[in-house]
Amino acid sequence: MDSRTNTIAGWTLGACAAALGLSIVGSMVFHGGRPEKMGYAIEGVEEEGAGGAAAEVPIATLLPTADAAKGAEVFKKCAACHTVNQGGANGIGPNLYATLGEGIAQGKAGYAFSDALKAVGGNWDFDKMNAWLTSPRKFAPGTKMTFAGLGNAQDRANVILYLNQQGSNLPLPAAPAAGAPSGEAKAGDTAKGAEATANATAEGAETNNIGNQGTPASGAPSVDPQAAVRGGK
């Protein structure tokens, strides 16, 4: 084997060794595979599965402090698909003028609503709109609406108030009274009251029984203590 052959073989072995080394280093640097969370977070949009918890906030408690001007800013997230002005054209989504109080998946100049949304039925009220904006896919599984939802409850209240002012003007629901006991607390109070009544009844019956022990039976002769003493004399 001449020197030229040795040189070629040496370069080949060196290249293989370098490739193997780079492969080992690369696997160490990029160890861990895919990240725990895929994609990028979008401000104002909930994560998958987070809507249920957010929807638990009663919308009636948030609307009194809602701000329609802020709701108009939130609505900009919807403006790519919806118009909200009177007589506005349908786009990817329907025109939303005078939507609150209207039948769900009805009207809107013949907009082609999904069968999933048609199946919900009823009218758009504050609670239904809150649930829809929290997670359209949970509110109407199978809906064509691709928007993930608004995870911030106050943002939902703001945009609902704004939508209500665009041709609907429904009266706002009454907010729950501050400090009102929950249903569970009321049930506990009722149970305690019933137990106290039962105990009082039992105690009264026992007292009456003790008192009756000193009362002669009907028809039995009455005994005069003084007469007994005199007779003993």
Q: Looking at the domain assignment, is residue 108 inside a domain?
A: yes
Q: Which residues pair with 123 in a beta bridge?
A: 103
Higher pLDDT pick, 10 / 27? 10
Instruction: Count helices and strands (H / E) in the chain.
Output: 10, 0
**Rounded CA separation 160/136 (Å):** 15
Q: Looking at the domain assignment, is residue 91 inside a domain?
A: yes
pLDDT of residue 231: 46
pLDDT of residue 198: 54
**Rounded CA separation 157/139 (Å):** 17
Q: Looking at the domain assignment, is residue 134 inside a domain?
A: yes
> 15-25 pLDDT, tens per residue?
767 777 777 75
What is the CATH number for 151? 1.10.760.10
Q: CB of 124 within 8 A of CB of 102?
A: yes
Q: Looking at the domain assignment, is residue 15 inside a domain?
A: no
**Rounded CA separation 44/147 (Å):** 11
Domains: count for the chain: 1
Q: Domain range holding 157?
A: 57-164
Q: Looking at the domain assignment, is residue 94 inside a domain?
A: yes
> 19-58 pLDDT, tens per residue?
777 777 566 655 555 445 444 444 444 444 444 444 477 9
Q: Looking at the domain assignment, is residue 111 inside a domain?
A: yes
pLDDT of residue 50: 41
Those residues with Cβ within 8 angstroms of residue 97's Cβ, 6 or more apart along the chain or in another chain: 83, 84, 85, 86, 87, 88, 166, 167
From residue 31, alpha-carbon distances to 21, 35, 150 in Å are 15, 11, 35
Q: Looking at the domain assignment, is residue 158 inside a domain?
A: yes
Q: Looking at the domain assignment, is residue 88 inside a domain?
A: yes
Please give the model's pTM, rounded to 2 decimal places: 0.55
pLDDT of residue 13: 74
Q: Which residue has the tokens 């943002």?
A: 155
From residue 205, alpha-carbon distances to 57, 185, 192, 210, 222 in Å are 49, 30, 20, 9, 25
CA atoms within 13 A on the CB side of 84: 19
Closest CA to 123 of 145, 147, 106: 106
> 118-153 pLDDT, tens per residue?
999 999 999 999 999 999 999 999 999 999 999 999
**Rounded CA separation 85/167 (Å):** 9
> 67-83 pLDDT, tens per residue?
999 999 999 999 999 99
Q: Which tokens in the block code for residue 59?
A: 């919308």
Closest CA to 51 of 141, 138, 154: 138
pLDDT of residue 193: 52
Q: Output phi, psi for 103, to 5 deg.
A: -65, 140
